[in-house]
Amino acid sequence: MNLSIIVPTYNEAPNVAELVRRTTAAVVGIDAEIIFVDDSIDDTPDVIREVAAAAAIPVRVIHRDQATGGLGGAVLEGFRAASAEACVVIDGDLQHPPESIPDLFARFGQGDVDVVVASRYAAGGAAQGLADKTRVFVSKAATAVTKAMFPIRLKDTTDPMTGFFLIDRNAIGLEGLQPRGFKILLEILARKTLRVAEVPFAFADRFAGESKASLRQGIHFLAQLTALRFGKMSLFAVIGGLGAVANVAIVWALTSAGVGYITAAVIAAEVTIIVNFLLIERFVFHDMRHEASGVGSRFAKSFLFNNAEAVIRIPIVALMVSTSHISAVFATAITLVVAFFVRFVFHSLVVYAP
């Protein structure tokens, strides 16, 4: 078996026969199978079994009674059940033309990528199946925000939210994936640095039935995005917090040993900055290191940024205290919080930029 075609379905009975017909016709000459991963509450599984009996290639259905993880969970279940390493994921409503499957497979066959994304937004692609203007806007805005949040891992794709793609099952880190909501490709691309190529396709209208997209899915998506992105950020925060505690402890130890306050503060700040760099290298941005500049250059950027930040923050606090009624402690707290976000963004986008 060279190709497993995974079709997540939720109440798609009227689309099954047409999907299997067009897919089998499209993959003639490829040793392929179709796996439906079904969470339907209608007769979709029966229809699939009926169609499977007459199909020219192997067609299986996995019906799940507990629809764990929704669409994303279904797709992961499909990967686990697949006979081939190369797995295509395609919607069951024919919004993704099966005729594009050979394009994906051929691109994968060049052997230099782990994922091939079928993109609505690449040159030659089209998104006319996003019927109304609101959905076009939501889709484009979500894509832009998502790409901005993962500037490195999503740099090679114009359509991280597509549900039509091919993956090398052994390359994507299947075990580390958490199926949540609709956007399983985003989960795959955001968690691990993978080699990605794109193939354009035209997103069509549904053949039959209704979309299962909903406000609930939208909320799921935001939760997914936050967990994926701010997982790194919370680690960065914990390390930063430990650094602040260490800073105070060093100042205390040195001043108790008779060192002057200014000297003690400078030594504590520099030690904290260096240890902080070593820790974020090891624990936060470890997966981004090999694509970024050399360690010397990373250290120089991080070191200069943190020193500049420490120096600039003092006059800013003074300015805040003198121009408004807030206390020095409160002003310091505000600047520390702002500095934290700026530092995180600077490290994600500059220090560890590819």
- In the list 16, 30, 33, 70, the residue contacting ligand GDD (rule: CB under 6 A) is 70
- Nearest approach in angstroms of CB 154 to ligand GDD is 14
- In the list 163, 181, 240, 243, the residue contacting ligand GDD (rule: CB under 6 A) is 163
- Nearest approach in angstroms of CB 279 to ligand GDD is 36
- Nearest approach in angstroms of CB 186 to ligand GDD is 9
Does 67 help bind ligand GDD (rule: CB under 6 A)? yes
**Candidates 104-112, 147-155, 208-216, 293-301; binding stretch for ligand GDD (CB under 6 A):** 208-216
**Candidates 87-95, 227-235, 266-274, 331-339; binding stretch for ligand GDD (CB under 6 A):** 87-95
Cα 340 to the center of its chain, rounded Å:
23
Q: Which is nearer to Mn ion, 15 or 302 (CB)?
A: 15
74: which 2 tokens?
Answer: 């279904």
Partners of 62 in the β-ladder: 37
Which is it for strands 165-168 and 59-63: parallel, antiparallel or unpaired?
A: unpaired
Q: Is 41 exposed, middle or buried (0-12, 13-18, 19+ CB in 10 A)?
A: exposed
Query: Rounded to an integer, what distance in angstroms lies between the CA atom of residue 12 and that of residue 255?
Result: 72
Q: Which is nearer to ligand GDD, 38 or 114 (CB)?
A: 38
Closest C-alpha among 53, 47, 166 to residue 116: 166
Which is it for strands 32-38 and 59-63: parallel, antiparallel or unpaired?
A: parallel
DSSP state of 313: H
- In the list 6, 20, 27, 37, the residue contacting ligand GDD (rule: CB under 6 A) is 37
Q: Is 214 exposed, middle or buried (0-12, 13-18, 19+ CB in 10 A)?
A: exposed
- In the list 119, 139, 276, 348, the residue contacting ligand GDD (rule: CB under 6 A) is 139
26: which 2 tokens?
Answer: 């499209």
- In the list 213, 245, 312, 345, the residue contacting ligand GDD (rule: CB under 6 A) is 213
- Nearest approach in angstroms of CB 95 to Mn ion is 4
Binding partner of residue 194 among ligand GDD, Mn ion, none, CB under 5 to 8 Å per kind? Answer: none
259: which 2 tokens?
Answer: 């060192």
**56-115 positions binding Mn ion, by CB under 5 A:** 93, 95
- In the list 47, 104, 161, 239, the residue contacting ligand GDD (rule: CB under 6 A) is 161
Query: Rounded to an integer, what distance in angstroms lies between the CA atom of residue 90 and that of residue 71?
Result: 11
Strand, helix or coil for residue 119:
strand
Q: Which is nearer to Mn ion, 93 or 281 (CB)?
A: 93
Partners of 199 in the β-ladder: 118
- In the list 182, 221, 285, 352, the residue contacting ligand GDD (rule: CB under 6 A) is 182
Amino acid type, 76: L
Q: Which is nearer to ligand GDD, 70 or 102 (CB)?
A: 70
Q: Which is nearer to ligand GDD, 45 or 240 (CB)?
A: 45
- Nearest approach in angstroms of CB 191 to ligand GDD is 17
335: which 2 tokens?
Answer: 């600047």
Q: Answer left, alpha or beta for residue 88, where phi above 0 means left and psi between -120 and 50 means alpha.
A: beta
Does 12 help bind ligand GDD (rule: CB under 6 A)? yes
**Using alpha carbons only, what angle is made at residue 244 by residues 241 and 247, rounded to the nearest 5 degrees?**
150
**Using alpha carbons only, what angle is made at residue 226 by residues 228 and 153, rounded to the nearest 5 degrees?**
40
Q: Which is nearer to Mn ion, 150 or 203 (CB)?
A: 203
Does 187 help bind ligand GDD (rule: CB under 6 A)? no
The dihedrals phi and psi of 9, each to the nearest 5 degrees, come to -135, 140
Does 144 help bind ligand GDD (rule: CB under 6 A)? no
Site residues (vs Mn ion, CB under 5 A)? 93, 95, 211
Site residues (vs ligand GDD, CB under 6 A)? 8-10, 12, 37-39, 67, 70-71, 74, 91-93, 95, 139, 161-163, 182-183, 211-213
